[in-house]
Chains A and B, each alone.
Chain A
Amino acid sequence: MDYMVSNDILNGGEPIKPRKIKQAIVEIVSDSGEGAQKCGQSFGAISAKMGNGVWTVEIIPAEIQPPARSREGASGIRVRIGSDKVTNMGNHANLVIALNEQVLYGRISQDAYNENTLMFIENKWAKSEQETIRQQYAEALLKFKESGIQVVEIPMEEECLKLMPDPRKGKNMWILGLLCYMYDRDLPKAEDQIRTIFKKKSDAVIALNIKLLHAGYDWAREKLPFRYEVTPMEVHNDMVVMNGNEALSLGIMASGIELCSMYPITPATSVSHHLAEYFERVGGIVHQAEDEIAAIGFAIGASFAGKPAVTVTSGPGLALKTEFIGLAVMAEIPLVIIDVQRGGPSTGLPTKVEQSDLLAAIYGEAGDAPKIVLAAATIEECFQFVVLARKLAESFRTPVILLSDANLATGVQPFPRPKIDSFWLTNPFDQSPWKDGAFPFEWDEHTGTSKRPIPGQKGGMYTVTGLAHGQTGKVAYDPEINQAGVESRSRKFASLQKSLKPPKINGAPEGDILLVGWGSTLGAIEEAVADARAEGLKVSSLHLRFLFPMVPGLTEIFSKFKKVITVEINYSDTPGHPMITRENRRHAQLAWLLRAQTLMDIDSFSNVYGQPLNPEKVLNMIKRELNIENAKVSV
């Protein structure tokens, strides 16, 4: 992607016709609190409404108010729009708009830009009263230019000052206006968007922001000698556009779950914010518990009493919940547990993406505690999988852990509007008398499944216990009974596994390399595979949604490829280091599982930079693996 830029581009000229392009990646980066995300989300939403494919990734500093103009304080957003469906954040940005130069350093070190990137920087720093700032600014500009980036200084503050005395909170809409001109966005849609995001504000605020939008637009029209059009797709179905946490929240509401019991934790919290606003209107309620343990205990109590419940957390919370998850497994209490993963261990990287809770989700509890573990790969799946998880939880009388991650949490993407089935909203709340003489754990010999009594059902009275118990539910230390109980609770998942279909392969069913992924990396992997195949490389991929139990047919599929490599955002030892041998290498988490499952020598490509995966890195890895000359060595 190339933008043609001459040195004096800001001289403007005749009105120009937009040049058609297939896609654009735009970043807005600022100090936190300057509204960069609001601007980017709006740009994404307007584009989605016009029928473009969209993917957004937020750039979030760990602190709420990091010092201004600090490198680590970068707050912002990347928006990728396309003529087709967009499934990931892409590689290098085409345009970055920065409200100061310092916040760009971090992005540069993350390889977000290259020589084709056009950089618009707020120029007020050049005239700063502080000499250090003037120096920093000049130095940075020089550096950026030297690295090949095309830097253009823009008088954002100066222009906004014409409309408001303190543009700190207004510049973002001016920038939105500039973007709307530059990418030929629909102005009435942009105005609508402003009315939506400021719907709780006064008319005066809305009017001012619309003025800023127009001002940015007009300025760009006058000054910019280029303009692009990302042709929208023809929209066939009704689409909705939202981020992953909103999708989880809507999924919770649509699934018939009645209670979300949670304790705030980044990046999961916004699910509860969204729910808190709407849940009560659809018959549900949010409980903010005193801690993570109480949150799940409360949800388990409600579910035991026949009220479908969910608890939403992130890694550190999942760790605290393990004892209760074990109880729910042992006592066979349906429950949905959502883990929006972040970087770990410990407090780790609270706002950054990682996929490191997979093994903890599957094996985290004391004792043998099998349960269903699912991972959403797209925003749409964040919605659909909650519905699925609740259904599975009840059918198999088990906790279900649904994994999402920080990338999906804030990523925005359009998807076909879900069709809500009234059946989802009905409750299994059975209050008819319990079948005479039936045990509370009458395990089907074949499938291990059983039906549970719910308080209120006459004749069903039993005591849930985490102690070993047989079909009658009575505590039993008899070795045979324990063996039978553990077996039945395990057999359920074998019978579920048998009902699953083998996964779809993206690309040919045989070849040199098969990439295997799970979770939010789907889009980046598939784009890399498409690029590789376009270059004639024999690469395919598959993506797992069920992590436990796993879909059937994997060994068979893997055997058709010379090499199988998992692609994950978690840690694995890099082979080649003098300390790392075949024997002591720690593999990425899915690779561990697949190696154990298939007895095949499955490799992994993984890292923990806290960044979403981009297609270029995957493509380079593919080329390295295939010993292709022009592969870059970066990881």
Chain B
Amino acid sequence: MHLQTHEFCSVPSFDHDYGMEDYGKGVARWCPGCGGHSILTTVQRVCKDMQYEPEKTVVVSGIGCSGRFPHYMGTYGFHGLHGRAFPVASGVKFRRPDLNVFVVTGDGDCCSIGAAHWVHAIRYNMKMVALLFDNGIYGLTKKQTSPTSPLNTHSNTHPKGSFLPPINPLQTTLGLANVSFVAQTVDWNAAHLYATIRKAAEHPGLAFVRIVQRCPAFMRDLYGDIAVDPKNLILLSNENGINLKPKARKAFGRVIEHDPSNIHKAREHAEIHNGIPIGLLYQNTDNVRYDEYGAHNLGMGVEEKKENLESLLDQYSTSQSVK
């Protein structure tokens, strides 16, 4: 029997403590002031604090500025195709429960070209952290309207202002079957960003985190004043939510008590227009997980496989009668 025990458990080997340097690689090439930088550092910190083995960690991205993310991680990475991070990440996880999987996707990547996969990844609910880098614009290709660009965004594809109302990724995700974790945070509040990604990493299922991301190059005025003035960040607070130290809470103009098990309230908060609700909108740890289904028959030995295969072939044998 070739029992591959490492396929069943992901107990980190504590033969040495991993430090921040174990999770980094190269120098991030994003613009100065880009939200990507702080998200990168935060993900590395979460990996360190969770003591994820770098070789057991896979970061999968699509294409876009955000897509460059895995190149700056000291883990395994997969910088794949525009819009297709979710299927790749799901394939990685399906038969490798021992791997820690992150998905990094942009607003064009996730909500436009890859929208079909987004819908289904939520439904698969495989244990992984999905980070939506939502800068409300196509960054890499230089300022085209994205499906999350606010109405009347002036871009290279809509110089007179965008015509259609944006998709609200929170609302959309909250409407999907088998959704189990939806949170929102912003790249410029380090404490909240950390607490959110940490909470996501601990979630037993697919944790969808929309990160409102600054893009100083092309989208200075995403949300206009709302983004700049900390008063406009509305903290969703709850003992089961994303918790900040009292000092960190002070940065928020408004605090709303929100129970993350209440999906109807979550949908209401997702629709807030006069501020940015941040925190855990919804969590349910009881949903079915497709990665558990995918891993249910791992570790079968070669001899057992061969035996079963031979008896299957018997059914096709001309010298055999029915069983």
Contacts and interface: CB of A to CB of B under 8 A. Distances in A.
Contact of A414 (B55, B78, B90, B318): B318
Contacts of B26: 474
A235 interface: yes
B319 A235 contact: yes
B317 interface: yes
A420 B309 contact: yes
A418 B313 contact: yes
A89 B174 CA distance: 56
A253 B319 contact: no
Contact of A297 (B70, B77, B87, B319): B87
B60 A323 contact: no
Given A287-B294, A299-B91, A463-B79, A239 B120 contact: no
Contacts of A475: 71
Nearest to B70: A463
Nearest to B77: A463
Max chain B Cβ within 10 angstroms of own Cβ: one of A51, A278, A284, A290: A290
B56 A455 contact: yes
Contacts of B308: 281-282
A429 interface: yes
Nearest to A281: B308
A431 B6 contact: yes
A284 B299 CA distance: 10
B84 A294 contact: yes
Interface string A485-516: 00000000000000000000000000000000
Max chain A Cβ within 10 angstroms of own Cβ: one of B91, B120, B294: B91
B20 interface: no
B87 A301 contact: yes
Interface in A353-403: none
A422 B300 CA distance: 13
B318 A246 contact: no
Interface string B288-306: 0000001011101011111
Contacts of A300: 80, 88, 91
Contacts of A414: 318
Contacts of A323: 81
Contact of A304 (B55, B88, B300): B88
A240 B96 contact: no
Nearest to B117: A294
Contacts of A301: 60, 78, 87-94
Contact of B309 (A253, A295, A302): A253
Contact of B294 (A283, A285, A324, A457): A285
B310 interface: yes
A258 interface: yes
Given A240-B317, A464-B80, A306 B96 contact: yes
A324 B91 CA distance: 13
Interface in A394-449: 414, 417-418, 420, 422, 425-427, 429, 431
A455 B58 contact: yes
B96 A463 contact: no
B106 to A, nearest CB: 16
Interface string B201-242: 000000000000000000000000000000000000000000
A305 B317 contact: no
A467 B318 contact: no
Interface size grouping (class) on chain A:
35 or more
A580 to B, nearest CB: 41
A45 B298 CA distance: 35
Interface in B23-70: 25-26, 53-56, 58-60, 70
Contacts of B76: 453, 455, 460-463
A436 to B, nearest CB: 14
A246 B76 CA distance: 37
Interface size grouping (class) on chain B:
35 or more
B119 A290 contact: yes
Contacts of A291: 116
A51 B54 CA distance: 59
B34 to A, nearest CB: 18
Interface in A447-484: 453, 455-467, 474-475
Given A259-B95, A461-B54, A49 B318 contact: yes
Given A297-B91, A458-B55, A463-B71, A241 B120 contact: no
A225 B61 CA distance: 73
B302 A425 contact: yes
Interface in A215-263: 235, 238-242, 246, 250, 253-254, 258-259, 261
Contact of B87 (A282, A294, A453, A460): A294
Contacts of B294: 285, 287
B14 interface: no
Given A425-B305, A431-B6, A287 B322 contact: no
A461 B72 CA distance: 12
B305 A282 contact: yes
Contact of B319 (A239, A289, A461): A239
A304 B306 contact: no
A309 interface: yes
A250 B312 contact: yes
A51 B95 CA distance: 42
A10 to B, nearest CB: 34
B98 interface: yes
Nearest to B94: A302
A305 B91 contact: yes
B247 interface: no
B210 to A, nearest CB: 21
Contact of B120 (A253, A281, A294): A294
Given A282-B309, A461-B55, A261 B91 contact: yes
B81 A298 contact: no
Given A297-B84, A324-B84, A429-B4, A246 B316 contact: yes
B92 A302 contact: yes
B2 interface: yes
Max chain A Cβ within 10 angstroms of own Cβ: one of B25, B73, B94: B94
B99 interface: yes
A459 B86 CA distance: 25
Interface in B265-323: 294, 296-298, 300, 302-306, 308-310, 312-313, 315-319, 321-322
A302 B98 CA distance: 13
B87 A259 contact: no
B49 to A, nearest CB: 19
B75 interface: yes
B318 A235 contact: yes
A465 B78 CA distance: 6
Contact of A464 (B74, B79, B90, B321): B79
Nearest to B316: A240
A192 interface: yes
A48 interface: yes
A307 interface: yes
B65 to A, nearest CB: 14
Contacts of A305: 58, 91-92, 95-96, 99
A624 interface: no
Given A259-B95, A323-B81, A456-B99, A422 B89 contact: no
A195 interface: yes
Max chain A Cβ within 10 angstroms of own Cβ: one of B90, B95, B117, B308: B95
Contacts of A284: 297
Given A283-B300, A294-B116, A294-B120, A467 B79 contact: yes
Across chains A and B, which 10 residue pairs bring their CB atoms closest together, nearest first? A301-B91, A463-B77, A297-B87, A283-B300, A298-B91, A301-B88, A294-B87, A240-B316, A290-B120, A302-B91
Interface of B: 2, 4, 6, 25-26, 53-56, 58-60, 70-71, 73-81, 84, 86-96, 98-99, 116-117, 119-120, 294, 296-298, 300, 302-306, 308-310, 312-313, 315-319, 321-322
27 contacts: A196-B315, A238-B317, A238-B318, A281-B308, A285-B94, A290-B116, A290-B120, A294-B117, A295-B87, A298-B88, A300-B80, A300-B88, A301-B60, A301-B78, A301-B87, A301-B93, A301-B94, A302-B91, A307-B96, A417-B316, A418-B313, A420-B313, A429-B4, A455-B58, A457-B55, A461-B25, A461-B77
